[in-house]
Structure 1
Amino acid sequence: MNSRNLLVLAIALLMFPQIAQTLYSPALADIGQAFSIGPQAAGQTLSVYFLAFAFGVVVWGRVCDRIGRRPTMLGGLALYVGASILALQVSTFNGLLMAQALAAFGAAVGSVVTQTLLRDRFQGAELAQVFSLMGIALAASPALGLFSGASLVHAFGYRGVLGCLLLLSLGLWLWCWRTLPETRPQHLISASLFETLRRMLQDRDIWRSTLLVALFNIALFSYYSLGPFMFERLGLSGQLFGYSGVILALGSGLGAWMNKRLLRKGFTGLRLIRLAAGVALLGGIGVWLLQDSGLFVLSMLLVVLAFGMAIPNILGSALANYGDRLGTAGALFGLMYYLLIGAGLMLVGWFQALGETLMVCGALALLLVWRKN
């Protein structure tokens, strides 16, 4: 499989977990009505998703170093297909949460194994460029997820979203079964999970990268968690919330495009992350000031633009010192930041304060990178 075809498949695999997350967002209000639960409980579906996703990342990352990238990917996607079928059968909210957790565990394969595939094939500056390209493609995910989710919920309720996810995961499994190559190095060492974890826990750069990834993701997904209920409070329709994803995708795509251009002009990744953190803070202030008006979505543009600029640089450089154990290190790295994202979104669901959340995330990100050389 040539590099271009691999990148196309990698884009689809990386987009899938994000599309799965954002498809659920427009369904939260319908889930609340279907199971007679409040916004806080309905919003916890995203928290459960990220927490289960975190454990999936470490399992699939470890497994792909042991048995290979291809069989691991096929196994994770097959699990997601089964979980989607289960979700369509349950009749209680707790049952839906259990199915959501199982699906998230399976979806994690699309993140950690795909990133490992890319790190197998590309290194250094070329890898940073690849992640920038991934960032541009991922910018379309919120638009596809929110717009499609809103349309499906309007026509079929939350079960329409579940059916769509079942078809998507089955299609991806068939695509991988037909074309996905094995990229695991032949002479890969069998790295100890706990030795790698100990090494990473003592690595300040890993902790900084972990916190940065978590903060930018919490800022982004807090909108998907709280946005439906903010639109409802302002008297705006759920379909308008879905359309807002198109606007935000443009902002994220612009950020990823700017990142790629600035990298080519000689800007360092650290400098771009600093810029992104400052932009995210400004966006958070704007959302807080405009929270009683639908215009707050315009300030969210700055937040998603910052996400598009920052994430490719953080992910592209985070594991530069772990080339001999990419699957295991990638799994642990993902576990660390997804646990933080899940915990952060749980707090977001409790406090129901989007503007304040965004300001805290932006300020903390700026502090983390301000004094780094």
Structure 2
Amino acid sequence: MNRKNLLVLAVALLMFAQIAQTLYSPALSDISEAFAVTPQAAAQTLSVYFLAFALGVVVWGRVSDRWGRRPVMLTGLMLYAVATCLALSVQTFNGLLIAQALAAFGAAVGSVVTQTVVRDCFSGAQLAQVFSVIGIALAASPAIALFTGASLVQHFGYRGMLGCLLLLSLTLWAWCWRALPETRPAAACVAPLFGTLGLMLKDPALWRSVGLVAAFNIALFSYYSLGPFIFQRLGLSAEQFGYSGAGLALGSGLGAWLNKRLLKRGIGSETLVLTAAAVALLGGFLVMLLRDSGWFVLPMLLVVLAFGMAIPNVLGSALLAYRDRLGTAGALFGLMYYLVIGAGLMLVAWVQSLEWTLLVCALAALWLGYVRPVAPLRS
């Protein structure tokens, strides 16, 4: 498989991991009504998803160093399909949460193993460019998920959304079975899990990357978590919420495109991350000013533009010191930031304040953008 075709498959797998998270958002109101739970409880499905996703990231990343990238990818996608079938049949909200957690555990393979495959095949400046291309493609994911999810929920309820995810996971499984090569280096050693964890826990540069990834993701997914209920409060429809995803995708795509262009012009990734944090802060202030109007969606464009600018730079540089153990390090890195994201979204669901979430996340990203610790020397 040539690198161009591999990149197309990698983009599809990464988009699946993001779409599987975002597609739930338009269904939250329907889930709340179908299971007679509060909006706060329904919003917790995203929190559960991220926490289970975090566990899946560390498991799949770890075993991909032992068994190889290809068999692990196929196993994770099949587990997702089975869990989605379970979610289609449950009759209680707790049963849905359990199925959601199992599905998230399986979906994590599309994130951590795909990133490991990309890092296996690319390095240096080429890797940064690849993540920028991936960032542009991922910008379409929220639009696809929100618009598709809103349409499916309108006609078929939350089960229509689950049926779409089942079909998508089976399609990707067949594609991987046919086309995904094994990219694990032949001479790769399996790094000790706890030894690697010890190194990473003492690495302030890595913690900075964890904080940046979490801050931008919590800001983005707080909209998907709280947006359906904000639209409901403002007298707007779920379908209009779905359409808002198209506008937000334009903002994220523009951010990723600007990032790619500015990198080519020699502007450093650290400068771009700091700029993105400032843009997100401006967006948060404007959302606060417009919180009682549907126009609050417009400054959200600045928040998602910042996401598109920052995330490729953070992901592209986070594991440069761990190239001898990419699967294990990638798993632990993902575990760290998904745990923070999951905990953050639990707090968001409890607080139910989009504007304050955006401001806190942007201020945290701005501070982390200024802090540039040096990774400790490894013996």
TM range (shorter): over 0.9
**2:366 partner amino acid:** L
Correspondences of 1:276-315 after superposition (within 5 Å): 276-315=276-315
In the other structure, the counterpart of 1:200 is 200
Correspondences of 1:65-214 after superposition (within 5 Å): 65-214=65-214
Q: Distance in 2 between matches of 1:282 and 1:51?
A: 29
SS at structure 1 position matched to 2:174: helix
Q: Distance in 1 between matches of 2:30 and 2:190?
A: 47
Report the Cα offset of residue 22 of structure 1.
1.1
**1:227 partner amino acid:** G
Q: Distance in 1 between matches of 2:80 and 2:278?
A: 37
**1:331 partner amino acid:** A
* Maintained 8 Å contact 2:205/2:372: no
In the other structure, the counterpart of 1:275 is 275
**1:126 partner amino acid:** Q
In the other structure, the counterpart of 1:225 is 225
Report the Cα offset of residue 148 of structure 1.
0.1
Report the Cα offset of residue 348 of structure 1.
0.1
Q: Distance in 1 between matches of 2:352 and 2:190?
A: 45
In the other structure, the counterpart of 2:376 is none
**2:11 partner amino acid:** I
Matched, 1:264 2:264: yes
In the other structure, the counterpart of 1:63 is 63
Q: Distance in 2 between matches of 1:242 and 1:190?
A: 44
The C-alpha deviation readout for 1:233-280, integer Å capped at 9, x for no partner, is: 000000000000000000000000000000000000000000000001
In the other structure, the counterpart of 1:36 is 36
**2:33 partner amino acid:** Q
Report the Cα offset of residue 369 of structure 1.
1.4
Q: Distance in 2 between matches of 1:360 and 1:186?
A: 45
Matched, 1:360 2:360: yes
Matched, 1:336 2:328: no
Report the Cα offset of residue 303 of structure 1.
0.2
In the other structure, the counterpart of 2:45 is 45
SS at structure 2 position matched to 1:321: helix
Q: Distance in 2 between matches of 1:289 and 1:357?
A: 14
**1:196 partner amino acid:** T
**2:318 partner amino acid:** A
Q: Distance in 2 between matches of 1:115 and 1:167?
A: 23
Q: Distance in 1 between matches of 2:58 and 2:361?
A: 25
**1:183 partner amino acid:** T
The C-alpha deviation readout for 1:141-180, integer Å capped at 9, x for no partner, is: 0000000000000000000000000000000000000000
**1:294 partner amino acid:** G
* Maintained 8 Å contact 2:258/2:309: yes
SS at structure 1 position matched to 2:320: coil
SS at structure 2 position matched to 1:184: coil
SS at structure 1 position matched to 2:321: coil
Q: Distance in 2 between matches of 1:257 and 1:335?
A: 28
Q: Distance in 2 between matches of 1:294 and 1:18?
A: 25
RMSD: 0.6
The C-alpha deviation readout for 1:4-30, integer Å capped at 9, x for no partner, is: 000000000000011111110000000
**1:162 partner amino acid:** L
Matched, 1:16 2:16: yes
Q: Distance in 2 between matches of 1:248 and 1:290?
A: 16
Q: Distance in 1 between matches of 2:311 and 2:199?
A: 23
How many residues matched?
A: 373
**2:111 partner amino acid:** S
Q: Distance in 2 between matches of 1:344 and 1:177?
A: 36
SS at structure 2 position matched to 1:306: helix
Q: Distance in 2 between matches of 1:5 and 1:368?
A: 36
Report the Cα offset of residue 372 of structure 1.
2.5
**1:158 partner amino acid:** Y
Q: Distance in 1 between matches of 2:20 and 2:296?
A: 25
**Structure 1 residues 371 and 325, CA gap change in structure 2 (3 angstroms):** closer
Report the Cα offset of residue 371 of structure 1.
4.0
In the other structure, the counterpart of 2:3 is 3
* Maintained 8 Å contact 2:54/2:335: yes
In the other structure, the counterpart of 2:377 is none
**1:6 partner amino acid:** L
Q: Distance in 2 between matches of 1:102 and 1:328?
A: 21
Q: Distance in 1 between matches of 2:310 and 2:124?
A: 17
Q: Distance in 1 between matches of 2:346 and 2:302?
A: 23
**1:140 partner amino acid:** A
Report the Cα offset of residue 189 of structure 1.
1.5
Runs of 4+ in 1 over 2 A off after TM superposition: none
The C-alpha deviation readout for 1:109-155, integer Å capped at 9, x for no partner, is: 00000000000000010000000000000000000000000000000
Q: Distance in 1 between matches of 2:216 and 2:23?
A: 20
